[in-house]
Structure formats: structure tokens, C-alpha cells
Chains A and B, each alone.
Chain A
Amino acid sequence: MSFGLSIHAEKISQQFATGLMPIRDLSFICAPGEFIALLGPSGCGKSTLLRMIAGLRKPSSGTLAVGQEQGASEKRVSYVFQEAYLLPWRKVLENVTLPLELLGASRVEREFKARTVLERVGLIDFESYYPSELSGGMKMRVSLARSLVTEPQLLLLDEPFAALDEVTRLKLDQELRDLWLEAKMTVVFVTHSISEAAFLADRIVMLSKKTSGIAQELTNPLPRERSFATRADSRFTELTQQLFSQFQELEA
């Protein structure tokens, strides 16, 4: 019995008013507690797919089910955007409590949980700062904390660290992987970085712009526990090589 939500997508498509159909007859299954990376070139429909999984947009056709095998009613889904998107008029702590506020939690519970996740992302000392007083990396951490505060069963991330510098990004990747090992939720991570996908995910789903569907799925041979040293592992290098040649074929 796993904590995470599963995703069953069957022949889903998304067609926009412009006539463009970035996702066409796409099927895939994500097991509870899995960490999946969605990889693909810019404009291939990664965000579109993620938004559908989040329920922010309905597929124009096909069936998409997000839930638990046991059919428990409560589904906690969180979404992290490419940018932090904090409420600029709220302090860090109040930004993190927001989801709980919307779900109707008590003040004591909200603040306790928010402080716990802020501690986890290393920002407990900044709880009374305004977003305008934080660096880009700190804002992203707050955004991550906000997504974690509801203890999500499904965490969706859309290129969350793409705008950050390399070192910060590697650090946050590590933190995310560790978090997932602890919390065991299902994670879908969108990225266009091959090495990020290879480091983070257990399974890498590659989207194709040409067919508007899945080009390939790869299972990551790396061990569950990953660290900075993992990046020097020969399996890591092999995987990134493989993904890279795939990527080039897709672009060609």
C-alpha cells in the first residue's frame, strides 16, 4: 500500500483553439510512488500534459484518471511552476500556509506544518521576509515548501529549477530526491535537461514533438539513494549518452 497517487492516461489528446494538438493519443501509466521525468524539446507539450494531470485543463479526448487503487476520495495534488509565483504581499510563512488556508486548516496546524517544511528547505530563518527580499533560489525553495505543506500524494513540477544557476540547481535536485525518498509520494518532473532527468527520475518518459506522443520510455538503472557521486557513476554517463542520442534523433 503506497502513499502516492497513480496516473492512468489512455489515448488522451489536447487540442487548442488554435487547432494545434501538442498531445495526441498519448497513453501512459504511472505507478503510485513512482518518480517520473518528462523529457522533451521545447514546445513538445510537456507543460500541457502536466496541466492535464493536475486537472487544470481537461483532455479534449481520451480518459485520464488520477487516484488511488483503493479509491480513497481525498486527493492531494501540488504543482510547482517554472517560476516561484509567490503572493508578493504575503511574507514567506504566509505564502507557505496558503494551501492549508484554502483547505480550511486551523491556524495552529497551518503554522506548525509550514514551519516544518520551511525547516526542511532551510528557510526557517526567513519566515518573516517578503518575497521581494529573497534571491531566486530562495523563492524557488519557498515555492517548493508551499507545494509540500499539504503533504501531497502527487507532486507535479514544471521545470522548477530551470531559471536557477547550476550549483543551486544541483543542490535543489538533491534535496528533491531526498524528500521523495522520505515522503514516498508520486512525482512527475518536467525538464528539458537530460542530466537532471537522469539524476532524479526512476523512469524517463521522452515526448516527441513530431508524433505528439511518447517517443521512448527508459527505466533508470541507478540505485535509489543518489548523491553528487552518482553523477560520476558509469551508469549515469551511459544513460545520459543514450538519452542524448535519442534527443538528437527527435530533433532531427
Chain B
Amino acid sequence: MKVHLKKVGLPVLAFIAVISVWESIVRLGWISAFILPEPSKVWSSLIEDWPELWVALKTTTFSVGISFFLSVSIGICSAILLFTSEMVLLALYPYTIFFQTVPIIAIAPLLVIWFGYGVPAVVASAFIVSVFPVIASTLTGLLSADPALRDLFKLYRASRTQSMVKLYLPSSIPYIMNGLRISGGLAVIGAIVGEFLGGVGIGSVIDVARAQQRIDKVFASVLLASALGLLLIKSIDGVSYWLLRHWHPSEAKES
């Protein structure tokens, strides 16, 4: 009980402290409200602009959801493909790194040209930045299945599908989960970048608010985007716990 109080109480206390210091600094005029709006202003923007923010948030959530889903499914399937054939791995793996290193800001305008304004360009942008961690982590997971267990499957003449389903994929779940946490955060960032140019969602609200010098609204939107990322990562944590609680040290429960 005491531990619980500390775990919740301390972050809340820290939050209140930072917010009050921030509020007073701006109110005292030490920093201009044009540069850093006081928390109370951000709060009122959240309330006043809520109808607009809510619509934008829903669009962004939709784009992030679609692109994350695509990253996970395409990423895992690609990794299995790369793993299954050494030829494919040698031929294609270098190109998957493209997704990791591509400067998304630079090619976002191209995505708008290719996919048009709106959700498709946003999804493409989020997908490009979030697929690589899934591929890389799944591949690492598949490659690190225990050699003794591989021998066991070989001994009983397991087929490729049996080995994949019963050995390689389960062994890689801890790795995949780690990849998904990284990928989830990147999907939100990729979506916001795409929306700057795609003209929809939270990213677009940020872009317009900045042009209108509504810094409080920018902050309110950023807050919502972070909340979306947090929610996504927490859900991944939940799935990870559920999948690994019985067998992997990373999710072992104290009892």
C-alpha cells in the first residue's frame, strides 16, 4: 500500500510542482506567452477547441491504427520470408534498412504527390518509419531460437511449418514485443509528420495553429498526440504481459 502510494504520489507531486513553476514563470512575464504558453492557457485551449481537436484526434488515431497494423503484419511476414531463405535475406535485407534511414520529412511531400492529400499519405508516412523495427526485431528473434530446441525438432523430423509455428515464432515473441514498442512510438511521429503536409488530423491542426500563432493550441495538440502514443505503447505492454507472463523473465510476476 505504501509502495503504491509512493508510485502514484511522487509523479503526481512532481507534475504539480513543474506545472506551478511553469505557470508562475509565464505569469511573472519572465518568458513570453508567445514562446511558452502557461499551462492554464493550454488547458483552456483543450476545452475550447475540443470539437475540432476531437475530430482531428480521431483521424490521427485511425491513421496510426492502420499503419501500425500494416507495419506489424507486413513486418512480421517479411521477417519470416527473409528468415526462410538465405538468398532472400542476402538479397533484400540491405534494402529494408532503407526504411530505417529514410528522412521522412524530406519524402513526405512526395508521399502527398503519390497518394494525394489526406489519410493515405499519412498512413504511408507512418508505415515507412514504423515497419523497420518490426522486421529487425522479428528477424533477431527468429535467429536466436535455442540450438538445442532446433535439434529436438530436427530429431522428430518436424516440417518447416511445424518448426516455424511451434518453435521459431514463440521464441521470438519477446523480441517482437520490443520491436512493437519502438514501432508504436514511431508510427505516431510518422503520422504527425505526414499530417503536416497531408492536411488532416492532429498534425494539420498543429501546422495551422502555429501559422496563427496559437501556441497554446499547438501545445494542446502535442499533448493529445503524446497521449495517443502513450496509449498505444501501454496497450502493447498489456499484450506483451498477457503473452509472456507465464514463461518469460521480462514479465515474470512477483509472488
What chain A residues lie within 8 Å of B148 (beta carbons)?
A: 81, 83, 85
Selected from B151, B153, B247, B248, the residue in CB contact (under 8 A) with A102 is: B153
Residue total for A at the interface (Cβ-Cβ under 8 A):
22
What chain A residues lie within 8 Å of B157 (beta carbons)?
A: 102-103
The reply on B155 being an interface residue by CB < 8 A is yes
What chain B residues lie within 8 Å of A103 (beta carbons)?
A: 156-157
Chain B residue at minimal CB-CB distance from A156:
B155
The reply on A98 being an interface residue by CB < 8 A is yes
Selected from A51, A77, A78, A98, the residue in CB contact (under 8 A) with B166 is: A98
The reply on B154 being an interface residue by CB < 8 A is yes
Chain B residue at minimal CB-CB distance from A129:
B246
Within 8 A of B (CB), among A124-159: 130-132, 150
The reply on A62 being an interface residue by CB < 8 A is no
What chain B residues lie within 8 Å of A1 (beta carbons)?
A: none
CA distance A81 to B153 in the complex (A): 13
Complex contact B152–A101 (CB within 8 A): no
Selected from B153, B154, B166, B247, the residue in CB contact (under 8 A) with A88 is: B247
The reply on B48 being an interface residue by CB < 8 A is no
Q: Mark A81-101, 1 if CB is under 8 A from B, else 0.
A: 101010111000000001101
The reply on B105 being an interface residue by CB < 8 A is no
What chain A residues lie within 8 Å of B152 (beta carbons)?
A: 79, 85
Which of A56, A83, A150 is packed against the most chain B CB atoms within 10 Å? A56
Complex contact A87–B149 (CB within 8 A): yes
Complex contact A130–B246 (CB within 8 A): yes
CA distance A98 to B252 in the complex (A): 24
What chain A residues lie within 8 Å of B162 (beta carbons)?
A: 101-102
The reply on A123 being an interface residue by CB < 8 A is no
Chain A residue at minimal CB-CB distance from B170:
A89
CA distance A89 to B172 in the complex (A): 11
Complex contact A130–B151 (CB within 8 A): no
Within 8 A of A (CB), among B181-216: none
Q: Give chain A nearest CB distance to B27 CB in angstroms.
A: 55
Q: Mark B129-165, 1 if CB is under 8 A from A, else 0.
A: 0000000000000000010110111111110001000
Chain A residue at minimal CB-CB distance from B159:
A102
What chain B residues lie within 8 Å of A77 (beta carbons)?
A: 155
CA distance A85 to B154 in the complex (A): 14
Complex contact A131–B155 (CB within 8 A): no
Q: Give chain A nearest CB distance to B252 CB in angstroms.
A: 7
What chain B residues lie within 8 Å of A99 (beta carbons)?
A: 156
What chain A residues lie within 8 Å of B246 (beta carbons)?
A: 89, 130, 132
Complex contact B156–A131 (CB within 8 A): no
Complex contact B252–A132 (CB within 8 A): yes
What chain A residues lie within 8 Å of B82 (beta carbons)?
A: none
Complex contact A101–B166 (CB within 8 A): yes
- What 5 pairs across the A-B complex have the smallest Cβ distances? A88-B247, A102-B156, A85-B148, A130-B246, A102-B158
Known: A51-B151, A99-B156, A132-B247. 16 other contacts (CB 8 A): A54-B151, A56-B154, A77-B155, A81-B148, A81-B151, A85-B146, A85-B148, A85-B152, A87-B149, A101-B162, A101-B166, A102-B156, A102-B158, A102-B166, A130-B246, A130-B247
